[in-house]
Amino acid sequence: MPDEPVTLEQVAAAAGVSRSTASRALAGKARECRISPKTEAAILLAAKGLGFQPSHVARSLRNRRSGLIGLLVPDASNPFFAAIARKATVFAERHGLSTLLADSHDSIEHEKELLQHLQSRQVEGLIICSIGGTHEHLRSLERTGASVVVVDRWFADVHLPTVTSDNERGALLATTAILKQGHQQIGCLQGRPGTSSNDERLAGFKAALASAGASQDACLIRGDDFSEASGYRAACELLDEHPSLSAMFAFSNQNALGALRAFSERKLNVPHDISLVMFDDAPFAEYLAAPLSVIRQDVEAIGHRAAELLIDQIRTGQRPQELLHRLPVEFVARESIGSPRKPAKATDP
Amino acid sequence: MPDEPVTLEQVAAAAGVSRSTASRALAGKARECRISPKTEAAILLAAKGLGFQPSHVARSLRNRRSGLIGLLVPDASNPFFAAIARKATVFAERHGLSTLLADSHDSIEHEKELLQHLQSRQVEGLIICSIGGTHEHLRSLERTGASVVVVDRWFADVHLPTVTSDNERGALLATTAILKQGHQQIGCLQGRPGTSSNDERLAGFKAALASAGASQDACLIRGDDFSEASGYRAACELLDEHPSLSAMFAFSNQNALGALRAFSERKLNVPHDISLVMFDDAPFAEYLAAPLSVIRQDVEAIGHRAAELLIDQIRTGQRPQELLHRLPVEFVARESIGSPRKPAKATDP
DNA sequence: AGGCATTGCACAATCGATTGTGCAAGCTAT
DNA sequence: ATAGCTTGCACAATCGATTGTGCAATGCCT
């Protein structure tokens, strides 16, 4: 910004003292540094008068503490990550830390690059939701002993503090609710395979099918990532290939929206023609044509816990004892799960 | 982070040269600074070998350029601001700038405080959506010549570059669409009075009513801010006080969700019993019980333009010629606007 | 061979705040 | 009166990278 900021030097000059004295007085160390009340007052007055704002940059250099944390997510506009960002920012601010936001655009290359940028900015800690695929950069973080918290997804070969939901249980709950209504075939609109949040949900889904003795038809799983496009494609494929399909489980809000588009194009009514459950609640869920039954995860709690774990690491310099923090989920029954329509065609073509 | 980062000093030592030479070589100034290819190669090798990451902090201090921009919004988890945050972050990153996120929690006090924090971090530019109320801190920004872009809301006595939607036209479009269906009374669920985005929408609303010769019943305007709670309260009040009300215009997504809750509690069907339009499209809008007709604003364009204007200011050191940037809006007709129900009771009680 | 230009690099100041050390002035004690 | 202590503050180094200036060593020319 154009205006040259006021420096400590100028405050010191205005008060007729040296920088060191000014610095100590402003740091509130007047007493312990034996600065006379008179001098202290003069310094404080000068600082106030000049509108002195200490330079965080200079301070960071000298103290070797940037006062910065990084937040690296695949998509900052996704409500899930936006909520985490908010919680983390506010919590960090309360501890005197500012938050650098970085958006990897679902690309592992960007992610690695942004991680470098954040590190060269000397961030004191990092909350990251990795795309996955390769983990070398995460393992490197693990080795260097950096303060890091991984959110939403964890990786088997990376041992970093992680905060996520009880995905498997959530998926089990959702699938069970569907099965209870008598559905035989359930289409699964999955997110990005390889991410723990996806694979755990898949595990819950399969576990529910298994314990219900349902046929484990793996073909009924489709989808590439957590996007609406993926949900739409997956739903279309399943609908076209399995006309008798009577229920679907979407692994994300976006996936569900894609499915709804596919249903709407085919004039399929929820829950009359087809049932739907989605993972992760959303404000709009209860106002949809058929209020959506969902697995609710406590996104705010995830953000809060992540920030908490991070700050603790920064303060103590140590990783927490417990590495994996799983937050509970809850099945919210609304009206999107019905009985299967009469089996006009009981079998797939 | 625990690991002591590699400094330029160490690179220089490893290459057997001085810091200055190492610095120039790494800056790609080998040729113009007459550094021999041999020496250059040695330095580059040493830097690569040691994994040298230049310290942004030190660089910022010396260059008097932090490479930081600030993003100060009332609610980072609101999809509108989250989208802007994403666009701004990505655009900034492309220009070598990192983004500091700050969330004022809809509080002017927090806003002012966070602004100070951002300034003491030497941000080179700022994108801000102010709560409003008092503007002294904004006027101060105006005076100092700081690089700033105001988004969504502008203030009459603050002359800073601003990016917002054509709110008045949007509201006019929406209201006209309702009036065309023959509605006589339209409830207006407004956002925060005093913010330009609210007041302009209000102006458009009133203008449409006026040009249609409808009765200007000011009592039909309710609401305190853009939240769901406000939308809910406003809708309840209007519904209870004016049973014959047949249409509503919600000034935000959240306001609309609140209205839907009120409708749902009263078993009111959209659009059969009551029509609804909302300002700002949302992915879910077309999948609601009655797909919502909306005024779509191009949120991504707002974010992009804001970032663009900011970077330009930072690079040129000058404010743009045009201060007010209004982005076009679009009326998207779906199914939430119907004819008024038969006037069983044509008049208010 | 001596003068001059060029090449190749080192020295040192700088950005702004922090902090260990040192040094005078003032006071007490003997 | 002088040694010895406290009080009150200044000096200077430091964090890490950048950059203007200066100084050798080499090469070229006549």
Q: Tell me if A303 sits within 8 A of A83, measured CB to CB.
A: yes
Mutation to test the B interface, candidates A97, A98, A127, A139, most B Cβ within 10 Å = A98
Q: Is residue B348 part of a domain?
A: no
B284 and B238, same structural domain?
A: yes
Q: Is residue A230 part of a domain?
A: yes
Q: What is the mean pLDDT of residues B17-26?
A: 94
How close does chain A come to B217, measured CA to CA in Å?
29
Q: Is the dihedral of CA B259, B265, B270, B272 positive or negative?
A: negative
**Residue B201 neighbours by CB under 8 Å, 6+ apart:** B167, B168, B170, B171, B190, B191, B251, B279
Residue A285 in this model has a pLDDT that exceeds 70:
yes
Q: Any atom of strand D under 7 A from CB of B60? A: no
Contacts 24+ apart (CB under 8 A), A209-215: A209/A175, A209/A179, A212/A176, A212/A179, A214/A179, A214/A184, A214/A186, A215/A184, A215/A185
Q: Is residue A335 part of a domain?
A: no
Q: Residue B211: which CATH number? A: 3.40.50.2300
Write down the pLDDT at residue A346. 40
- CA B37/CA B27 separation, integer angstroms: 14
Write down the pLDDT at residue A153. 92
Q: Is residue A215 part of a domain?
A: yes
Q: Tell me if A221 sits within 8 A of A185, measured CB to CB.
A: no
Sheet containing A68-73: give its strands across.
A324-327, A162-165, A148-151, A125-128, A68-73, A98-103, B98-103, B68-73, B125-128, B148-151, B162-165, B324-327
B100 and B82, same structural domain?
A: yes
Backbone angles phi, psi at A149, to 5 degrees: -130, 130
Q: Is residue B230 part of a domain?
A: yes
In 3D space, the residue among A160, A103, A187 whose CA is nearest the CA of residue A306 turns out to be A160
**Residue B63 neighbours by CB under 8 Å, 6+ apart:** none
Backbone angles phi, psi at B104, to 5 degrees: -85, 0
- Give percent of chain A with pLDDT exceeding 90: 76
Strand, coil or helix: what is A211?
A: helix
pLDDT in tens, B38-97: 999 999 999 999 999 999 999 999 999 999 999 999 999 999 999 999 999 999 999 999
Tokens of B98: 């990192």
Strand, coil or helix: what is B163?
A: strand
Residue A32 in this model has a pLDDT that exceeds 90:
no
Tokens of A261: 């588009």
Tokens of B248: 């509503």
Q: Is residue B344 part of a domain?
A: no
Tokens of A37: 């009340």
Report angle CA A272, B260, A290 to the nearest 5 degrees: 10
Tokens of B174: 């929406």
What does each C-alpha distance from B38 to A146, B11, B41, B42, B44 come to in angstroms?
A: 36, 15, 5, 6, 10
B214 and B279, same structural domain?
A: yes
pLDDT in tens, A66-83: 999 999 999 999 999 999
**Residue B1 neighbours by CB under 8 Å, 6+ apart:** A119, A122, A123, A124, A125, A144, A145, A146, A147
How many separate domains does chain A show?
3
**Residue A219 neighbours by CB under 8 Å, 6+ apart:** A241
pLDDT in tens, B224-275: 999 999 999 999 999 999 988 899 999 999 999 999 999 988 989 888 999 9
B146 and B79, same structural domain?
A: yes
Mean pLDDT, chain B, integer: 91
Backbone angles phi, psi at A134, to 5 degrees: -110, 150
Sheet containing B275-279: give its strands across.
B221-222, B186-189, B247-250, B275-279, B293-297, B329-332
| Closest chain B residue to A265, measured at CA | B287
Report angle CA B24, B26, B28 to the nearest 5 degrees: 75
Write down the pLDDT at residue A345. 41
If pLDDT is split at 50, 70 and 90, which confidence band does A335 have?
Answer: confident
B301 interfacial to chain A (CB closer than 8 Å) = no
Burial class (CB in 10 A: 0-12, 13-18, 19+), A143: exposed
**Which residue carries 């959530």 as its tokens?**
A170
Q: Tell me if A97 sits within 8 A of A68, measured CB to CB.
A: yes
If pLDDT is split at 50, 70 and 90, which confidence band does A98 have?
Answer: very high
B152 and B99, same structural domain?
A: yes
Contacts of B257 in chain A (CB under 8 A): 283-284, 287
Write down the pLDDT at residue A149. 97
Sheet containing A293-297: give its strands across.
A221-222, A186-189, A247-250, A275-279, A293-297, A329-332
Q: What's the full length of chain A, in residues?
A: 349
B272 interfacial to chain A (CB closer than 8 Å) = no
Write down which residues 14-43 in B have CB closer than 7 A to strand D.
19-20, 23-24, 26-27
Q: Is residue A343 part of a domain?
A: no
Contact A5 B146 (CB under 8 A): no
B292 and B198, same structural domain?
A: yes
β A98-103/B98-103 pair status: antiparallel
If pLDDT is split at 50, 70 and 90, which confidence band does A185 have?
Answer: confident
Tokens of A23: 């610095």
Contact A100 B103 (CB under 8 A): no
Q: Pick the residue with more confidence: B208 or A346?
A: B208
Contact A86 B66 (CB under 8 A): no
Q: Which residue is nearest to nucleotide C19 (CA to C1')?
A: A20
How close does chain A come to B243, measured CA to CA in Å?
22
pLDDT in tens, A198-233: 999 999 999 999 888 877 665 689 999 999 999 999
**Which residue carries 């601010």 as its tokens?**
A93
Tokens of A115: 């991680």
Write down the pLDDT at residue B219. 62
Q: Tell me if B67 sits within 8 A of B100, measured CB to CB.
A: no
Write down the pLDDT at residue A11. 95
B227 and B291, same structural domain?
A: yes
Write down the pLDDT at residue B217. 62
Write down the pLDDT at residue A33. 85
B239 and B203, same structural domain?
A: yes
If pLDDT is split at 50, 70 and 90, which confidence band does B216 have?
Answer: low
In 3D space, the residue among A191, A334, A187 whose CA is nearest the CA of residue A251 turns out to be A191
pLDDT in tens, A102-159: 999 999 999 999 999 999 899 999 999 998 889 999 999 999 889 999 999 999 899 9
Q: Is residue B59 part of a domain?
A: no
Write down the pLDDT at residue A213. 80
- How far in angstroms lies nucleotide C22's C1' from the CA of residue B201? 69
Cβ-nearest to A284 among B118, B146, B284: B284
**Which residue carries 């040296």 as its tokens?**
A18
pLDDT in tens, B303-338: 999 999 999 999 998 999 999 999 999 999 998 998
Tokens of A193: 């395979």
Range of the domain at B177: 167-298
Q: Which residue is nearest to nucleotide C14 (CA to C1')?
A: B62
A274 and A186, same structural domain?
A: yes
Burial class (CB in 10 A: 0-12, 13-18, 19+), A43: buried
- How far in angstroms lies nucleotide D21's C1' from the CA of residue B44? 25
- Give percent of chain A with pLDDT exceeding 70: 95
Q: Residue B16: which CATH number? A: 1.10.260
A272 and A123, same structural domain?
A: no
B303 and B257, same structural domain?
A: no
CA dihedral A240, A242, A246, A249 (to 10 degrees): -80
Q: How many other C-beta atoms lie within 10 A of the C-beta of residue A309?
A: 25
Q: Tell me if A200 sits within 8 A of A327, measured CB to CB.
A: no
Q: What is the mean pLDDT of residues B25-35?
A: 88
Report angle CA A162, A163, A168 to the nearest 5 degrees: 105
Element (H, E) at B329: strand B329-332
Residue B342 in this model has a pLDDT that exceeds 90:
no
In 3D space, the residue among B60, B63, B127, B62 whose CA is nearest the CA of residue B92 turns out to be B127
- CA A144/CA A141 separation, integer angstroms: 5
Write down the pLDDT at residue B3. 65
- CA A131/CA A126 separation, integer angstroms: 15
If pLDDT is split at 50, 70 and 90, which confidence band does A2 have?
Answer: low
B218 and B133, same structural domain?
A: no
Element (H, E) at B112: helix B108-120
Strand partners, B188: B221, B249
Q: Tell me if B225 sits within 8 A of B219, measured CB to CB.
A: no
Write down the pLDDT at residue B30. 84
